[in-house]
Amino acid sequence: MPRFHCLALFVLTLSVRAQPVPLTVEAGKPGPKIDRNIFGQFAEHLGHGVYEGIWVGPDSKIPNTRGIRNDVVTALRALKVPNVRWPGGCFADEYHWRKGLGPLAQRPATLNPNWGGVIEPNTFGTHEFMDFIAQIGSRAYLSINVGSGTVAEAADWLEYLTAAQPTALAKERAANGHPAPYEIPYLGIGNESWDCGGNMTPDFYLSQMKMYARFVRNFNPSQQKSNEMLKIAVGPNDAKFEWTEAVMKAYQARQWSWDMHGLSLHSYTVVKWPPAYASTGFSAAEYARVLKSTLVMEDLVTRHSAIMDKYDPQKRVALVVDEWGAWYAKLPGSPEGFLMQQNSLRDAVLAALNLNIFARHADRVRMANIAQMINVLQAMIFTEKEKMLLTPTYHVFRMYVPFQDATFVPVAFDAGRYTQGDIELPRADAIAARDTAGKLWLAVTNVDPEKPLDLAVSLPGVSVKGAAGETLTGPQVDSVNTFTAPNTVTPQAANVRVEAGRVVLRAQPKSVSVIAIRE
């Protein structure tokens, strides 16, 4: 073949390959609100999640406010954390709140048998948690002890926290430094009652839950009627569809004396149990397997929502995914039961994929809590003595802040597939929304670890004047931030421009991009 023809064919091939993938943002077809609570956090008394992560004590040389780390507070405030679930997890069903009251030096030391059998000093208790919530500008999601506690114990805790009238418990709260009643917006009635929370059957759990839902009351005058405390029942783990069926059937037949406003769902990204995949130094094949595993969340949310729709077509009860995230093998040399793992660029991609799933199901999924906030599992933050580190997952949550309480906007595109061996994944994912100020946002995740993705974004009925944003990526899929190299995976300016009325975005390989579109 003549050289000219070869060159022409080569140029033509490049031209075809360079054609961007069309993506349409249907800005004129707004959907449900993306509840800011889907960006919730989880802080359990587990490993260094609370002690060293949040709490260092008022006498620590690490800068703190009443024992709570100042650097962590500043970092979390940037995420606009909507709610924090505490004190667990499995820890919650062995937690007795009275042990966490009074002078720090006089609190009893107990054991934490679920997580390493270590000493629990109880120095981070009710008042410390509520102080932490206030410092980061968040709201409390309290998980009460149904497994080893009693209805009376939980009822006393809520009276202690919320009573405004001068009851003995309210006076005790005032004597401990907080005369005004606290606000408790969310109450979890137990945790994993089908497993570590008591190995209960659905029927036995329902017999307990109804009593707790009846007698554990919120007395705060500001939280009555339209602002009432929302009660969240224990729901299923992964594909326990029969649990959802039983609880929702009971909900439909409920009487005036009890109610619930949410049903939890726990689903971790674990390719096989016990967790064996490493959190760093993994192969391209393991990258793909983990992401394929995390995308199961779409099917789980869809199927559990369908069961809920059968008994609650008005969607009054929220599906609350209050434990989710990647669970890998523990870091070599780390203590048993501390669930310490690294946090890589893969986890940033994984976080974005899950947040997108929740947003697409915003009519039913109105709360979620990643596990966990600091030093445990898929954490936002790592701490080491006086040092603090932001993870790739932290950066995704910070980039997604504009989606909190935004109005979902549908998108349509087909970027094709990414194939790794016998595993096939969608090459990319995207969501769009209008924030509370009316600004339009687009989030794009390029799953492909090798090839960039060029998108030509059309917005029918919208006159686009500008676009700018951030892209989070790194050198490799297993790139991590460390205390010696904290900015290996950090957001950079996105490669985006406006051309002929369209937004043209180059999404880098293995990346998460969030773009603001100016109209």
Q: List all residues 6 or more positions away from 282 whose beta carbon is below 8 Å from its beta carbon.
A: 290, 346, 477, 478
Do residues 81 and 38 touch, judged by C-beta distance below 8 A? no
Is 386 a known active-site residue? no
CA 291 to CA 275: how far, in whole Å?
15
Decide: residue 16, CB within 10 A, 0-12 exposed, 13-18 middle, 19+ buried: exposed
What's the token pair of residue 494? 């996105």
CA 98 to CA 383: how far, in whole Å?
29
CA 421 to CA 443: how far, in whole Å?
28
Give the chain's radius of gyration (CA, Å).
24
CA 280 to CA 299: how far, in whole Å?
27
Task: Choose, from 94, 128, 159, 323, the residue flagged as catalytic.
Answer: 323
CA 480 to CA 359: how far, in whole Å?
27
- Burial per residue of 129-153, b for 16 or more beta-carbon CB atoms within 10 angstroms, e otherwise: bbbbbebbebbbbbbbbbbebebee
- CA max distance for the chain: 96
The SS3 call for residue 350 is helix
**Hey, how many other C-beta atoms are within 10 angstroms of the C-beta on 272?**
9
Task: Give the H or E element holding residue 129.
Answer: helix 126-136
| For residue 426, cis peptide bond before it (omega within 30 degrees of 0) | no
Is 242 a known active-site residue? no
Task: Choose, from 44, 94, 120, 192, the residue flagged as catalytic.
Answer: 192
Q: List all residues 6 or more positions away from 163 whose beta carbon is below 8 Å from its beta carbon.
A: 169, 170, 173, 181, 219, 220
Q: Could you write out the three-class secondary structure of 436-487?
A: CCCCEEEEEEECCCCCCEEEEEECCCCCCCEEEEEEEECCCCCCECCCCCCC
Q: List all residues 6 or more positions away from 409 whose beta carbon is below 8 Å from its beta carbon.
A: 25, 26, 27, 29, 30, 31, 432, 433, 434, 440
Amino acid, res. 425: L
Q: Where do we find the tokens 């409390």?
A: 140
Name the phi and psi angles at 298, rounded to 5: -60, -50
Q: List all residues 6 or more positions away from 225 whose beta carbon is below 8 Å from its beta carbon.
A: none
**Cα torsion angle, 253, 256, 261, 263, sign:** negative
Task: Give the H or E element holding residue 505.
Answer: strand 502-507
Residues marked as catalytic? 192, 323
